[in-house]
């Protein structure tokens, strides 16, 4: 499996997906920041990007800015989930193949 999927930490797409998951039904900036484990600066960069690309929308509710995933954002979230399922399946297949290869090697070496 390619190392691109084995990086430590989170890549930007994963952070965007996490923010969208948190904001599905609407969330305050501080709620997003704490639940996504982002600094205030990081959060603002992501929110700015996501607003600009219409993944999030900002609505005023009870005099507070609430951020909510848009239809486009929910579509991104679904597609991201599907892609991650494919990646996990590929990783599992690679691990199973590796285990099978090791078992076959052990059988050959004991003959």
Which tens digit of pLDDT belongs to each residue from 24-37? 999 999 999 999 99
Query: What's the mean pLDDT in 77-101?
Result: 84
Does 91 fall in a domain? no
Q: By residue range, what is the domain housing residue 49?
A: 9-81
Cα of 74 vs its chain's centroid, Å:
13
Q: What is the CATH number of the domain that holds 54?
A: 1.10.10.10
In a domain, 106, yes or no: no
Residue 99 CA from chain centroid, whole number: 28
Residue 48 maps to a domain? yes
Q: Which of 8-22, 57-71, 79-93 has the highest mean pLDDT?
A: 57-71
pLDDT of residue 97: 76
Q: Structural domain tally of the chain?
A: 1
Is residue 4 in some structural domain? Answer: no
Reported as a single tens digit per residue, the pLDDT across 81-92 is 999 999 888 888
């Amino acid at each position: 499996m390619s190392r691109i999927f084995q990086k430590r930490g989170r890549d930007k797409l994963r952070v965007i997906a996490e923010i969208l998951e948190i904001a599905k039904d609407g969330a305050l900036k501080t709620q997003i920041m704490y639940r996504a484990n982002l600094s205030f600066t990081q959060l603002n960069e992501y929110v700015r990007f996501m607003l600009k690309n219409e993944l999030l929308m900002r609505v005023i509710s009870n005099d507070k800015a609430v951020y909510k995933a848009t239809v486009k954002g929910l579509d991104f979230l679904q597609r991201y989930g599907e892609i991650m399922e494919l990646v996990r399946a590929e990783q599992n297949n690679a691990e199973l193949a590796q285990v099978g290869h090791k078992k076959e090697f052990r059988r050959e070496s004991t003959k």
